[in-house]
Amino acid sequence: MGTILIYIIGLTIIEIYLFISIGSKIGAFTTILLIFSTAIIGVYYAKYEGLKTLKSGFIQLSKGEPMGYEILSGAGIAFAALLLIIPGFLTDLMGFLLIFPITRKFLFKKISKKFDNKIVKPKNNFIDGEFEDIEDENDKKL
């Protein structure tokens, strides 16, 4: 819990620094306009990518194929939309990187490599066989 709090405080400090730096160069009104425009553009693009991912998921489902990437991609798009709604330049950058399919796939591959070593894959230790139910007189007495 402590590391999450440190990340949130650090992100806030970086965002305030970027607001001040960029605002002093391009002006306060332009900075506010830029923040709102990235949020609006980002949310509409997230909606487009989300619907595209949903359609791809239904295609995978109709073929009977696993749709793990589509589920993970949908969650990533939802998180990217949240990052784009939060005012700030760093969160907008992270949101746009997560919303584009090329960078999203690259990030998911990087993350999945870290977790591949930690996942314990079950071994298929089973015996295949047949059985026949034989009734005898002792079973009928009960």
Residue numbers of the domain that contains 82: 34-116
The answer as to whether 74 is a domain residue is yes
The answer as to whether 57 is a domain residue is yes
Number of domains observed in the structure of the chain: 1
The pLDDT, as a whole number, for residue 141 is 60
Give me the DSSP letters along 83-108: HHHSS-HHHHHHHHHHHSHHHHHHHH
Question: Residues with Cβ < 8 Å from 107, sequence gap 6 or more?
Answer: 76, 97, 98
The answer as to whether 112 is a domain residue is yes
The answer as to whether 22 is a domain residue is no
The answer as to whether 14 is a domain residue is no
The answer as to whether 126 is a domain residue is no
> Do residues 89 and 22 make contact, with C-beta atoms less than 8 angstroms apart?
yes
- Per-residue pLDDT tens listing for the chain (142 residues): 688 899 989 999 999 999 999 999 999 899 999 999 998 998 899 899 989 988 888 888 888 887 778 888 888 899 999 999 888 999 999 999 999 889 988 888 887 777 666 655 566 676 777 777 777 776 666 5
The pLDDT, as a whole number, for residue 93 is 92
The answer as to whether 91 is a domain residue is yes
The answer as to whether 130 is a domain residue is no
